[in-house]
Structure 1
Amino acid sequence: MRCQLCLKSGMSGNNVSHSNRHTKTRFKANVHKQTLDRNGTPVTVKICSRCLRSLHKSPKVRKAFAALK
């Protein structure tokens, strides 16, 4: 899944064992469905936990949420 505000999705990387063997893995973004209030109307968005936390702090994220369709 992908965050609708910051467009964060997953990353790829390696699991590294004690014997230093590398196997491919995927690190997914921490995305949740959240119902937020936008101009008095409830809107359901898929939002990462970082944006949800920053929504009450950062004007940049609040502006991105206001521009969300």
Structure 2
Amino acid sequence: MGIIRSQDDFLHVRSVKAYGDGALGSRGAALIKPYSDAPHQHGLLLTQPEDFPQSSTASVRRGFPA
């Protein structure tokens, strides 16, 4: 299954988005060093770096653009 378009045209899926980490404002961005205003916080990795090659390859195989 790749690009999806419903018959009633209410749903059209034509891309895939992968999240590596969060946003800076919420202190979710993964940092090497702790945040200067929150020394206990390094952020959060949502997807492990080693998972990206397999995910992107699977998406391309299913017809999504690279």
Tell me the TM-score normalised to structure 1 length: 0.26
Point out the structure with the larger strand share: 1
Tell me the TM-score normalised to structure 2 length: 0.26
Q: Which has the larger radius of gyration?
A: 2
